[in-house]
Structure 1
Amino acid sequence: MFDGVEEQDFIGPFEVFSLAAMLAERGVDVRYVTAGQPGTVRAAYGTVVQVTQPWAPQDADVLVVPGGGYTHRDRPGVWAEIDRGVLPAALAAAPRNGLTISSLCTGALLLGAAGLIRGRPCTTHHGALDTLQQQGGVLTKARVVDDGELVTAGGITSGLDLALWLVRRELSADTATRVEEILEYETRGPIWTR
């Protein structure tokens, strides 16, 4: 989480994972974290979220990096985070065996700033594809692009598809289907896998 994060980018996956936690046979712990000091995060449209958990990728199986603030370089969001450097540095140090790092929307640009997408199949919001390619990403036309320990998704609502795909991949198809039923949402668009 970071100031300027897009509300749908973080709340959609959070709800999918939280429902999966209720339904899955194995334990699932879902939390918001920040690479800075835990505290208040103000999202793109003014939603205030209290983030109480510290950055701890060593304790995670899946890390989801949302986007937001791409169109305004002078406001909080991905550009401010790239310029500040704290989150990209934390992401660059995070990869390890057993950790899947994922992004949705312009969160992929934070992965790009961390050097994690160079030469890798990936996607982002359609309005930021040129920037992702400039960062070295191999643009792949799909709603969700699964390259093993790196999974990216297109813009905003594709976060639902990203989270449902990760639930299917990490927990079970049955759990993902049950979450879709509760949300009254059907996964849409192609999923590319290596």
Structure 2
Amino acid sequence: MRVHIVVFDGMDDLDVVGPFAVLGMAGRAGLGVSVRLTAPGDPPHATTRGGLPLHPEPWAPRDADVLLVPGGGYGQGDGAGVRAEIAEGRVPAALADAVRPDLVLASVCTGALLLAAAGVVTGRPCTTHHRAVGDLVEAGGVHVDARVVDDGDLVTAGGVTSGLDLALWLVERFRGPDAAERVQSALEYERREPLWLRAGEVAAR
């Protein structure tokens, strides 16, 4: 499983670092997972909301099995974050161009609004931070009240810390429950519920 996390200025620190830590641990454990940071246009760096500088690798979505989009800065409206990226249009356009049958698009928190701007959530079950649910629905998404929502090639998670649950679910989906349990145990983290699957069921763990 090759996961590319899409970075941009003003993203939430934990939206990026949480999934990166989970997936990186899975890779180091020999579970067949790789993770990298990337950004359309190949900028030399991107800075999180908290001031953490990140250095993305070149944009190569065809090399990914999963493109994971963080959120952040959505409520502030101060020129950096999801709202600014939607207005600028570069990230949504690149995500829309990246769509292909064997690619999973995933998001944490208000990253779902970037996927909405890319036109990929219309009529689809999805979730986001609770404060952005109205905007997600207005953009065409069908909100599901769950921690992680898996609708096949679209996997979305709620706010901030749900990125940990999203990443662990991706490990389980691609590499099996034993692999996910191994990473979860090493992290000393307990996944929170619920998980909504494409069949419409809420899975209990």
- The match for 1:115 is 119
- Determine whether 1:16 maps to 2:14: no
1:87 is aligned, of 91, 104, 117, to: 91
CA contact (8 A) 1:24 1:171 kept: no
> Is residue 174 from structure 1 mapped to residue 178 from structure 2 by the alignment?
yes
Identity of aligned residues (%): 55
| SS of alignment partner, residue 30 of structure 1 | strand
Deviation at 1:108, TM superposition (A): 0.2
CA contact (8 A) 1:9 1:105 kept: yes
Q: CA deviation at 1:40?
A: 1.4
- The CA deviation at 1:36 is 2.5
The residue identity in structure 2 corresponding to 1:87 is: V
Match in the other structure for 2:37: 32
Q: Determine if the alignment matches structure 1 residue 44 to structure 2 residue 53.
A: no
Letter paired with 1:80: A
Q: Secondary structure at the match of 1:180?
A: helix
Task: Check conservation: 1:145, 1:153, Cα contact below 8 A.
Answer: yes
Asked whether the 8 Å contact 1:35–1:86 carries over to 2, the reply is yes
Q: What TM-score comes out, normalization by structure 2 length?
A: 0.91
Task: Report the 3-state secondary structure (helix = DSSP H, G, I; strand = E; otherwise coil) of the residue aligned with 2:54.
Answer: strand
* Matching residue's letter, 2:111: G
Q: Deviations over 1:61-86 (max 9, x none)?
A: 01110000001223200011001100
Letter in 2 for 1:30: V
**Contiguous gaps of at least 5 residues in structure 2:** 1-6, 199-205
The question of whether the paired residues in 2 share the 8 Å contact of 1:23 and 1:175 is answered with: no
Shift of 1:25: 4.2
2:110 aligned residue:
106
What is the aligned residue count?
192
| Residue among 154, 157, 163 paired with 1:153 | 157
Q: Which consecutive unaligned segments of at least 5 residues does structure 1 have?
A: none
1:85 maps to a residue whose letter is G
**Residue 37 (structure 1) shift:** 2.3
Alignment of 1:116-155 (within 5 A): 116-155=120-159
Give the alignment's TM-score, normalised by structure 1: 0.96
Q: What RMSD, in angstroms, separates the aligned Cα atoms of the two structures?
A: 0.9
Provide the rounded CA distance (Å) in 2 between the counterparts of 1:74 and 1:60. 32
Paired residues of 1:161 and 1:188 also in contact (CA < 8 A): yes
Letter matched to residue 11 of structure 1: V
Which stretches of structure 1, 4 residues or more, deviate above 4 A after TM superposition?
none
